[in-house]
Amino acid sequence: MDDSADDTPMLGMDLPEAPPAPASNGPYRVLARKYRPQTFAELIGQDAMVRTLGNAIARDRLAHAFLMTGVRGVGKTSTARLIAKALNCIGPDGQGGPTIDPCGVCEPCRAITEGRHIDVIEMDAASNTGVDDVREIIEAVRYAAVSARYKIYIIDEVHMLSRNAFNALLKTLEEPPPHVKFLFATTEVNKVPVTVLSRCQRFDLRRITPDMLFAHFSSILQKEGVEAEAPAIWLIANAAEGSVRDGLSILDQAIAHADLEADGAGGGRISADQVRTMLGLSDRTAIAQLMATVLGGDAGAAIDLARAQYALGIEPVAMVRGLMDLTHAVTLAKVARHDDPALAAADRERIGDWAQKLGFAPLNRLWQLLLKGHDEVLRATNPLEHLEMLLLRVIYAASLPDPGELAKLLESGGVPAMPLVAPQAVPAGDTPGASVAADTPPAAVEAVEAPPPAALTIAQIHQLLESTGNHRLAVDVYDHMRLIALEPGTLTFAPVPALGEGFARDLADALLAATGNRWSVRAGEGEGRPSLAQMRAAKLADNDARIRELPVVKAVLAAFPDARLVEDGDNRHKSAP
């Protein structure tokens, strides 16, 4: 038997590392293990937790059980091991006590780092889920630590314990011996019973922000002697989704990819294009071109671009995600909250241009369509076909303005078509230059200062009645009165049964009270001109026909046969009760 010491660290327990030598004859260790934090100072992004632990240690207010929770790769198990070292460190001289800055050189620190300390027991709850496994802990906690200050149990993925195992642990967890500490780690804290949570001091470890990951990865690349473009590091930091371990795994792969791209001797340079290809991300330029064709309504070009990307090996779902990312970026740019360091200057300019041209409503519809389409493409047996149908659906729906915006475009001449509302013709007998649109919303009428009788039009009379509280008369004038003649102080209308016998007298009295001038109001002979309500209905029907002739609306109705035009707000008069 070989008497030489085995320098290979136990699984998951790593020695602290100095910057590695350029070459080594030993087996390669992945970056996630090589750069596992060995002190709290190396634990990035968890300042609040470190401060709390430091204060608890300094004030001798240590809990008997700690629970670390958070997404994968943020340092839960590493934190548990650091706490074990902090509680059992005795300092280089052997006289120290618990500290937030363990020395790393004393026997307990080195033994815990190497995973050989007899009083620090680490258990994987995923493979030890039953009551029997917990019973071993319950029996062992009665005995004092062999050589350390505290006997520490680290249970990883504690949520995997069975319900009976949790129940068996409760009493011991609530009142453990003073020499025992429990350290739990889990990614799914919602699966841990409340009875267990209430007995632990809980720390929610934060996701690591992309800028922290960027700085961390840049430092590691410098130690590894590998060059990388800044956008490439940002891509890796964003792809990590807040997980240091995931990011280091991607970084490991990117370094290997760069080496192969160069001379195979470790002198490669990581480029953004290489990282994008390695991660299967769609090319930004191609996605921007696809977005441009979608917004431009060029269905044929959009399908051709999608097929070209598919032929290059880009998955359809990746193209949909690319369009969603671009839509999200444009939307954030509208509120000045888009800041992606991985973007080139040309991409920033393009996003800013779209942010100025597109409104929130079209962007929201585009996002909703892409979000629904993403799930469809992801589950599809033929993703390319679903992608093509999604692009067609988006082209004929997402880029269209909503009814309010369409009305504004038509009124302002932004779309080559007839205006949404035709100019109000001045009825014969009215005074030119003083007319008010016949379809002025009655609900929006405010108090109107009474002009001289000669300046009044039928629309102004209607507004005057509304502003003075004669709502029933205003409704009759708007809905039923067919004007024959309107002269200064004289109003002649066609007899209509709906107006009633006292209409002329009531209207004359109301005009006298409102204007201070006596009016002659009487029923004449003939049919008269259409009422204000009839004129408005005719204009709406004409507008409807004009809108249906617009190319953009024709496209919508062709794509969605069941669609119908809806007026934006009902401005018609409601009959008085």
pLDDT tens per residue, range 240-253: 888 899 889 989 88
Domain boundary among the residues 157, 174, 204 is at: 204
Q: What gap in Å lies between CA 292 and CA 472, rounded to an integer?
A: 55
pLDDT at residue 335, rounded to an integer: 82
**CATH number for position 57:** 3.40.50.300
Based on the domain organization, do 44 and 182 belong to the same domain?
Answer: yes
Based on the domain organization, do 138 and 222 belong to the same domain?
Answer: no
> End-to-end alpha-carbon separation of the chain, Å?
105
Based on the domain organization, do 326 and 385 belong to the same domain?
Answer: yes
Q: What gap in Å lies between CA 574 and CA 437, rounded to an integer?
A: 18
Based on the domain organization, do 316 and 456 belong to the same domain?
Answer: no
Average predicted confidence (pLDDT) for the chain:
78
Higher-pLDDT residue of 500, 319: 319
Q: What gap in Å lies between CA 480 and CA 488, rounded to an integer?
A: 22
- Look at residue 63 and tell me whether its pLDDT is greater than 50: yes
Beta bridge partners of 120: 152
- Look at residue 33 and tell me whether its pLDDT is greater than 80: yes
- Look at residue 209 and tell me whether its pLDDT is greater than 50: yes
- Look at residue 139 and tell me whether its pLDDT is greater than 70: yes
SS3 string, 140-208, reads HCCCCCCCCCCEEEEEECHHHCCHHHHHHHHHHHHCCCCCEEEEEEECCHHHCCHHHHCCCEEEECCCC
Residue 387's pLDDT band (boundaries 50, 70, 90)? very high
Residue 339's pLDDT band (boundaries 50, 70, 90)? low
Based on the domain organization, do 44 and 64 belong to the same domain?
Answer: yes
**Nearest alpha carbon to residue 483 among 432, 427, 539:** 427
**Nearest alpha carbon to residue 455 among 464, 444, 467, 468:** 464
- Determine contact, residues 339/371, Cβ cutoff 8 Å: no
Based on the domain organization, do 504 and 474 belong to the same domain?
Answer: yes
In a domain, residue 26? The reply is no
What is the pLDDT averaged over residues 114-140?
A: 87
Based on the domain organization, do 127 and 189 belong to the same domain?
Answer: yes
Choose from 17-31, 60-74, 262-276, 434-448 the range with maximum mean pLDDT: 60-74
Based on the domain organization, do 76 and 195 belong to the same domain?
Answer: yes
Q: Which two tokens stand for residue 111?
A: 């033994």
The number of folded domains in the chain is: 4
Residue 154's pLDDT band (boundaries 50, 70, 90)? very high
- Determine contact, residues 317/333, Cβ cutoff 8 Å: no
- Determine contact, residues 192/158, Cβ cutoff 8 Å: yes
pLDDT at residue 574, rounded to an integer: 37
Domain boundary among the residues 278, 297, 328 is at: 278
In a domain, residue 344? The reply is yes
- Look at residue 553 and tell me whether its pLDDT is greater than 90: no
Q: Which two tokens stand for residue 428?
A: 């014969």
Based on the domain organization, do 515 and 569 belong to the same domain?
Answer: yes
Residue 407's pLDDT band (boundaries 50, 70, 90)? low
Residue 266's pLDDT band (boundaries 50, 70, 90)? very low
pLDDT at residue 22, rounded to an integer: 46
Based on the domain organization, do 131 and 268 belong to the same domain?
Answer: no
Neighbours of 314 (CB within 10 A): 20
pLDDT at residue 499, rounded to an integer: 85
pLDDT at residue 435, rounded to an integer: 35
Residue labelled with tokens 């004009």: 546
Residue 359's pLDDT band (boundaries 50, 70, 90)? confident
Q: Are strands 180-186 and 151-156 parallel, antiparallel or unpaired?
A: parallel
Q: How far out from the chain centre does Cα 475 lie?
A: 48
Range list of H helices, 480-518: 503-515
In a domain, residue 23? The reply is no
pTM over 0.95: no
**CATH number for position 345:** 1.20.272.10
pLDDT at residue 421, rounded to an integer: 29
What is the pLDDT averaged over residues 349-372?
A: 85
In a domain, residue 1? The reply is no
pLDDT at residue 182, rounded to an integer: 92
Domain boundary among the residues 248, 278, 308 is at: 278
- Look at residue 102 and tell me whether its pLDDT is greater than 70: yes
Q: Which two tokens stand for residue 534?
A: 């009839």
In a domain, residue 412? The reply is no
Higher-pLDDT residue of 401, 281: 281
In a domain, residue 245? The reply is yes
Q: Are strands 201-204 and 180-186 parallel, antiparallel or unpaired?
A: unpaired
Q: What gap in Å lies between CA 499 and CA 476, rounded to an integer?
A: 6
Higher-pLDDT residue of 70, 559: 70
In a domain, residue 21? The reply is no
Based on the domain organization, do 457 and 529 belong to the same domain?
Answer: yes
3-class DSSP assignment, residue 485: strand
Based on the domain organization, do 519 and 504 belong to the same domain?
Answer: yes
Beta bridge partners of 155: 123, 184
What is the pLDDT averaged over residues 87-101?
A: 88
Q: How far out from the chain centre does Cα 481 lie?
A: 55
**Helix (H) or strand (E) segment spanning residue 562:** none
Residue labelled with tokens 């992004």: 45
Instruction: Enumerate residues 6+ apart whose C-beta is below 8 A from 138.
Output: 168, 169, 172
Q: Which two tokens stand for residue 358?
A: 């597109």
What is the pLDDT averaged over residues 117-130?
A: 87
- Determine contact, residues 370/394, Cβ cutoff 8 Å: yes
- Look at residue 162 and tell me whether its pLDDT is greater than 60: yes
What is the pLDDT averaged over residues 477-492?
A: 86
Domain that holds residue 58: 31-204
Q: Are strands 520-523 and 269-270 parallel, antiparallel or unpaired?
A: unpaired
What is the pLDDT averaged over residues 427-442?
A: 37
In a domain, residue 20? The reply is no
Q: Which two tokens stand for residue 365?
A: 């519809």
pLDDT at residue 23, rounded to an integer: 46
Give the number of residues written for the chain: 577
Neighbours of 203 (CB within 10 A): 21
pLDDT at residue 320, rounded to an integer: 92
pLDDT at residue 281, rounded to an integer: 66
Neighbours of 236 (CB within 10 A): 29
pLDDT at residue 416, rounded to an integer: 40
